Chains A and B, each alone.
Chain A
């Protein structure tokens, strides 16, 4: 290193110093300060509109390319379905076969009885309601992300250039920006909640804890470039209630908690997550369980009930599906949270998949990988609907109540309401369902000499 290098070194250092200062000032003014006060400059809205225009242009180009080659543009099967299913039941079908075939009664075996099961089986192989809920939703048209390019062909040079530009913007500019914000948000959360933990319990502590939580979650929202629209805020969950929502990803928590204060429920993790959990609980009471306690349903129910009875405590946030589903449907709600005697505030969350897929496919991606993918998408756009509060009615049991709430959420979010258990993502289906089908067929075959099956035992 001779004297030749020194002036350049100095210049370089100065330039770096200046750019960092400018960078941080911009960050502070445009992002962090509005986050603290809950204001918005409208930059994200503008960004979203621009993106939509770009996507539309891209689709037009691809359609033009397809027309030139005389092909049909690929449409994903999840949109229109590969097959049109016959909605007939077993009984109807068997009656029909017998009417046209021999002149026999319904209650005698025919070799063609297998046809119904056969056809249903093949239909489910071609298209079933469950397995497609555990992978990312397929898009109607390409959104210039490599990860959502399954079958989109006819990508011209111009589109490739646009895609390349997108890569540069997302990984070179947006990702570092978002990472900085995320780190800021999380560190502020940990530091401030620990500090607040030293205050004596009372109104001041409660007030400060609320403000700190909201501020940090808002910074995290900006760290994901999440553009959220809240509907019907008059129905926001109140103290002593339970808030239930459909579950698509861990980000659901950030989205809901940046608009209101909740008591979280969950298992204590190790590492960074555990640190955040421990410091959060110092500022206000969240419900964290040890791994061993999670299995004990009575303990869980007791702690939740105790929390709910105390009207000064924040509403509990629970995701009754128990696992992440891909936001095209709502799967079975576990009845545990509906057995607790309190008002339930349903919330429906629907993501717009065009800007970035929020679904966490935990069998494919770990948490870190998932967060990186989130932060390198265009944006996370979603709508949140606060539904009017519901309570268990006379003569309704927990399962029926859970299904009623689930139906309301599905209707509002435009999602398919399924009875299947989200646990089927990893586990096998229970044999009782097969046994029900067998009972039904047996009943048709030999009439009422078979004990009738109880329709309430459906789940």
Chain B
């Protein structure tokens, strides 16, 4: 009885998550508490319904795509490691200077990885290209019923035209990065986690 949240999280697990994601010890225990409170079924993993129970997320136009990001290919359950790995994308980049013991390789919250997260929001079939249809889908999610198909179509066409450099009528990841090179991605795709 009672939610003895952190007693289910072992020290070794915390250390591993720390290395992989760069979160601090206290941030990990707090986020585990949050994970546990969302897990209504108390089975150590979150389902899509658990996320949709959050009203502020349910009214977010891109809510479903964001929830998708937490579930690896074809799976219906998100465990705590996966949860943390996805959240790690939103750590501010400055925090990396304070945390030197990350595994080699690019940290999850690098600019490229943040952009990859945003790219995957569009690229539903994971073919590393944003097709016109995929772009239209996301646009439709954001505008609802307020804009006509023709208008939306022309917006999509214009966007692809400006971004597409190799003429395949799709936006690849490198083209995506190029279009957004002037945008302050580090700030816009970061959340200030308190220590």
Contacts and interface: CB of A to CB of B under 8 A. Distances in A.
Interface string B35-60: 00110000000000001111111111
Nearest to A102: B182
Q: Which of A81, A102, A131, A446 has the most CB of B within 10 A?
A: A131
B26 A72 contact: yes
Interface in A421-459: 424, 428-429, 433-435, 437-439, 441-443, 445-446, 450
A443 B146 CA distance: 8
B34 A438 contact: no
A118 B189 contact: yes
Given A81-B194, A114-B118, A151-B6, A101 B61 contact: no
A445 to B, nearest CB: 7
A86 B3 CA distance: 30
A130 B55 contact: yes
B192 interface: yes
A300 B26 CA distance: 51
Contacts of A118: 62, 66, 117-118, 121, 189
Interface in A211-234: none
A97 B1 contact: no
Contact of B61 (A77, A126, A146, A434): A434
B34 A77 contact: yes
B95 to A, nearest CB: 13
Contacts of B55: 128, 130-131, 420, 424, 429, 433
B5 interface: yes
Interface in B112-143: 117-118, 121-122, 138-139, 142-143
A5 B57 CA distance: 72
A435 B147 CA distance: 12
A120 B34 CA distance: 17
Contacts of A429: 55, 58-59
Interface residues of A, number: 63
A122 B38 contact: no
Interface string A122-138: 11111111111001000
Nearest to B66: A121
Contacts of A83: 191-194
B2 to A, nearest CB: 5
A384 B190 CA distance: 42
Contacts of B10: none
Interface stretch (A105-113, A255-263, A342-350, A402-410): A105-113
A101 B6 contact: no
Given A101-B180, A150-B5, A434 B60 contact: yes
A450 B31 CA distance: 41
A132 B147 CA distance: 36
B114 to A, nearest CB: 9
A64 interface: no
Contact of A97 (B2, B63, B121, B183): B183
A171 interface: no
Given A111-B163, A126-B34, A442-B143, A82 B194 contact: yes
B110 to A, nearest CB: 16
A84 B4 contact: no
A150 B2 contact: yes
A82 B62 contact: no
B183 A112 contact: yes
A157 interface: no
Contacts of A438: 61, 142-146
Interface string B79-96: 000000001001000000
B1 A446 contact: no
A124 B56 contact: yes
Contacts of A86: 192
Contacts of B58: 428-429, 434
A445 B144 CA distance: 12
Contacts of B159: 109, 111
A147 interface: yes
Interface string A370-410: 00000000000000000000000000000000000000000
A149 interface: yes
B2 A149 contact: yes
B176 interface: yes
Contact of B182 (A101, A420, A443): A101
Contacts of A126: 31, 34, 87, 191
A446 B147 contact: yes
B26 A441 contact: no
B90 A122 contact: yes
Interface string A187-210: 000000000000000000000000
A108 B158 CA distance: 10
B73 interface: no
A445 B147 contact: yes
Interface in A55-108: 72, 74, 76-77, 80-84, 86, 93, 97, 100-102, 108
B166 interface: no
Contacts of A24: none
A311 to B, nearest CB: 42
A82 B34 contact: yes
A442 B147 contact: yes
A97 B187 CA distance: 10
Given A111-B163, A114-B142, A119 B182 contact: no
Given A111-B180, A151-B4, A428-B52, 18 more contacts: A77-B34, A100-B182, A109-B139, A109-B155, A111-B176, A114-B118, A117-B61, A118-B189, A119-B190, A126-B191, A127-B34, A129-B56, A131-B54, A147-B1, A151-B6, A435-B144, A438-B142, A438-B144
Q: Kindly list the 10 A-B residue pairs having the minimum CB-CB distance in the complex, ordered from nearest.
A: A438-B144, A442-B146, A124-B56, A121-B66, A433-B59, A117-B62, A429-B55, A84-B192, A442-B143, A77-B30
8 contacts: A83-B194, A108-B155, A113-B142, A117-B62, A124-B56, A131-B38, A434-B60, A450-B147
